[in-house]
Amino acid sequence: MSPASYLRGLKPDWLRDPKVWRTEVLGGLVVALALIPEAISFSIIAGVDPAVGLFASFTMAVVISVVGGRRAMISAATGAVALVIAPLNREHGFGYLVAAVILAGAFQVVLGVLGVAKLLRFIPRSVMVGFVNSLAILVFMAQVPEMRDVPWAVYPLVIGGLALMVLFPKVTTVVPAPLVSIVILTVITVGAAIAVPTVGDKGELPSSLPVPGLPDVPFTLDTLTTIAPYAFAMALVGLMESLMTAKLVDDITDTRSDKTRESVGQGIANIVTGFFGGMGGCAMIGQTMINVKVSGARTRLSTFLAGAFLMVLCIVFGPIVSDIPMAALVAVMIMVCFATFDWHSIAPKTLRRMPAGEITVMVITVVAVVASHNLAVGVVIGSVTAMVIFAKRVAHLAEVTAVTDPDGTSIVYRVTGELFFASSNDLVGQFDYAGDPGRVVIDLSAAHIWDASTVAALDAIETKYAQRGKTVEITGLNTPSADLHARLTGELSGH
């Protein structure tokens, strides 16, 4: 290979191919346009000025385009993060929110290094579905206050916005329907001088780029204990949503991403965002789908430009954005809720076929999230519930059958299934200690020992037979079971 060919190979795709360049630039522009209404809406959910969400979307997208592990994925201010940190901002103020964002980023870096991405495989699908559905419900609930005690004109505007977002994609998908809806409703309200709440009523948009600074909080242990629970919840929620989105993009593009790098990258992006006064964020499923599926983007350039274009639009066109009616944003968020909710999961046909345990886990996850307004709490409770149901189900799979030799001098107990604390606790009661002959064989060739509880149960069985002068022989152990049994047998009793 010639030096020139080698150097060309080092160039990213968007530099080597003009078509890729155009795709990435247009993809970044479309995403930036779509980010504006959602970033403002999520700012309102968090109880902060629109500039805070816009700054967060700018810094998150720009930083993650460099340090993230999934190309073409969009990270920005999100409803999930807004819902987690809104109570902190409401109760303690904006300075504490910024400090929590920085601490959440640090948590994400640590969790990423520790390999938290590998733990996603332990989150059941029913919990994932509950997570998505509860997110949609909470975001919808956050819109309800914007439709109370408002001028009557707000309601037809919301309905009209929803209609536009449903019908416009049938004409073209080049321009995001939410953006079209917002532009048309803004033109109507401004042109007809309709007095309704606007974005400008919520706070001023940025007129310049954000500048770095430290959060305005006392650097004390009391501050740390105040922000730590919110920061940890934000870290978990952000990582879960980001890693789930990364997996989705992997499937769509038929490529693999570095989940550990993505986890660490999310943390770095949130730390930077916090120091620039942003509200933090994570991967956005909706904007990522616009970038990857609608625009066909595949590189980091589109992610970077999404953030860069966002700031240009705000700084140059800030006065126009301030005139956007809140009804338009409410309509956008209602549509986001509708698109986010997994309607298939509650269809009668699905519910009839789904095991009762799976439905229970999904419902418990949703109820826990909606009741606590904390997505991480719901995921933890849902996962624990799923584990309990699984353990109960597997425990019934362990069976014991006995076969007595014709000469009556020995008996063979064949144990089948998975032996762990839930199944092995009943194991001791399935042997006839008084009636069995002098030699007892326990055949475990069709079983597997998973924990110390099973070894302790086998020791108890041997002890009961020994007290009656009978011998026990354990056979058929596979290598892992034999190693665990050899290491723990006789060591678990304090008597």
* pLDDT tens figures, 407-466: 778 899 999 988 888 888 778 888 999 989 999 999 999 999 988 989 999 999 999 999
pLDDT of residue 6: 39
What per-residue confidence (pLDDT) applies to 7? Answer: 41
413 phi/psi in degrees, rounded to 5: -100, 120
Say whether 276 sits in a helix, a strand or coil: coil
Is 461 within 8 Å of 442 (Cβ atoms)?
Answer: yes
Q: For the segment 66-86, what is each residue's pLDDT rounded down to a tens digit?
A: 999 999 999 999 888 998 899
Measured between alpha carbons, how far is 303 from 315 in angstroms, rounded to an integer? 19
Quickly state the pLDDT bin for 495 (edges 50, 70, 90): very low
Residues 298-310 have a mean pLDDT of 93
pLDDT at 15: 61
State the pLDDT at residue 4: 47
Residues 6+ apart with CB under 8 A from 133: 341, 342, 345, 346, 362, 366
Assign 1 to helix, strand or coil: coil
Of residues 312 and 176, more confidence is placed in 312
Across the chain, how many H-helices and E-strands are there? 20, 6
**Most confidently modeled range among 71-75, 316-320, 324-328, 382-386:** 71-75
CB-based contact 361:385 (threshold 8 Å):
yes
Q: Is the confidence at residue 8, as pLDDT, over 60?
A: no
pLDDT for 411:
92
Residue 2 pLDDT: 52
pLDDT tens, residue by residue, 16-39: 666 778 888 888 888 888 788 778
The percent of residues in the chain predicted with pLDDT above 70, rounded, is: 93
Grade residue 332 by pLDDT with cuts at 50, 70 and 90: confident
For residue 132, give Cα distances in angstroms to 116, 122, 352.
20, 17, 21
Give the pairing type, strands 410-419 and 439-449.
Answer: parallel
Least confident of 137-146, 353-362, 458-467: 137-146
The predicted pLDDT at position 11 comes to: 58
pLDDT at res. 329: 83
Res. 10: pLDDT tops 50 = no
pLDDT score, position 217: 93
Give the mean model confidence (pLDDT) for residues 2-24: 60
- Residues 113-131: tens digit of each pLDDT: 999 888 777 778 888 788 7
CA distance 183 to 424: 65
List all residues 6 or more positions away from 362 whose beta carbon is below 8 Å from its beta carbon: 126, 127, 129, 130, 133, 345, 382
- Extract the tokens encoding 421: 């604390």
pLDDT band for 59, please (50, 70, 90 cuts).
very high
pTM: 0.71
